[in-house]
Structure 1
């Protein structure tokens, strides 16, 4: 079916472009899946919220599974594109690029809390939905890895350390960003006036990440202290 096919919004109304109608369906579906979960979300309610009949939803998106997958893929694409755009400026230091990317990430998640919830549900819903989130995380992690590696190189960090540590730090940072986005949105739901801003959330993660990375670049590595015996003093290694 071509993308220029329209649908009637009701008796006496002009045809609406397919792309617009699909966006309305996905908007309604994201809200429903975020609120009720995959199993409990009702196709009848989604159709009503989108202003269409349930048969029309099935005409466009053949099943509830396909509808949920379309929602997940839309939210994944939007978030990855947001991070890419936020880190596009290359003629600035790597830490500034990372800051811009984090701020863009949290600005997007703050503006699309239902999307954040849908991605969280996708992770716990199992295949094939979880794989879409895994792929998203890999794309964002690749972006962050490049920035952290550049920062380490700019600081004169030896290549062996950079190769060994940067990948792990990038994975940790992306996982923390996902968790912080969920935390920040929950805080806004509980107390909107007191919820953290996107800039504040980004600064929290930037401080956490950069303090650790800066120490690594200086060669200051954390090591566990030796346990002490209450009666015999320091224990042997």
Structure 2
């Protein structure tokens, strides 16, 4: 009897296995400490095959950053119904964001820590993702606060909210017992309560020098 041939795994599936392994290694050990040997072993393939599919450690890391950024953006988009009021859209977006970062802590580490500190090319991917988030939040705030006293601060508020979400996700992922819903509620209360005061004209003025 002839030997039974094992069905070859499609290239796309094999690449995703490699990226899954690479995200785990990069996310937990950091870019510098990660080795192609460890990534190949975790993916269950040979190191030459990793190099065949993704030519270098830099290219592999860049592919990880792109994939994780796309996945995070897609998760947030999928969680939002544009027909809902701005406050509900913001809540749903925050909940989707914190749920995804909690479910994919290695991917968030790659985006929030590793990509920012290992070269302009990697950081640019994260910057593009962040810019998209800022545009979305800016629109929501502008729709919720069309008054004159909010208009001048909309861009700054959006930047502050996105930055707060990033920091809070990093904290939530390293603090036992903090759920995605709790993190989202914390930021929503902080942000929307403050925006409520802005809408009502209760503005804080710095003391005169």
For the aligned pair, the TM-score class normalised by the smaller chain equals over 0.9
Root mean square deviation of aligned Cα: 1.4
2:69 aligns with 76
- Paired with 2:197 and 2:78, the residues of 1 have a C-alpha distance of 29
1:101 aligns with 93
2:159 aligns with 171
Task: Tell me if 1:65 matches 2:64.
Answer: no
Task: Tell me if 1:182 matches 2:170.
Answer: yes
- Matched residue SS, 2:9: strand
Higher share of residues assigned strand? 1
Query: Are 2:150 and 2:198, in contact at CA under 8 Å, matched by a contact in 1?
Result: no
Query: Are 1:43 and 1:64, in contact at CA under 8 Å, matched by a contact in 2?
Result: yes
Count the aligned residue pairs. Answer: 205
1:222 aligns with 204
Greater relative contact order (CA < 8 Å, ≥ 6 in sequence): 2
Where does structure 1 lack aligned partners over 5 or more consecutive residues?
Answer: 1-10, 189-194, 227-236
- Paired with 1:223 and 1:67, the residues of 2 have a C-alpha distance of 49
1:145 aligns with 138
Please tell me whether Structure 1 or Structure 2 has the larger radius of gyration of its CA atoms: 1
- Paired with 2:138 and 2:79, the residues of 1 have a C-alpha distance of 15
Runs (4+) off by over 3 Å: none
Aligned with 1:31 (options 20, 24, 33) = 24
Cα drift, residue 125 of structure 1: 1.5
Where does structure 2 lack aligned partners over 5 or more consecutive residues?
Answer: none
- Paired with 1:126 and 1:180, the residues of 2 have a C-alpha distance of 24
Query: Are 1:106 and 1:199, in contact at CA under 8 Å, matched by a contact in 2?
Result: yes
1:198 aligns with 180
Cα drift, residue 224 of structure 1: 2.6
Query: Are 2:37 and 2:47, in contact at CA under 8 Å, matched by a contact in 1?
Result: yes
TM-score by length of 1: 0.83
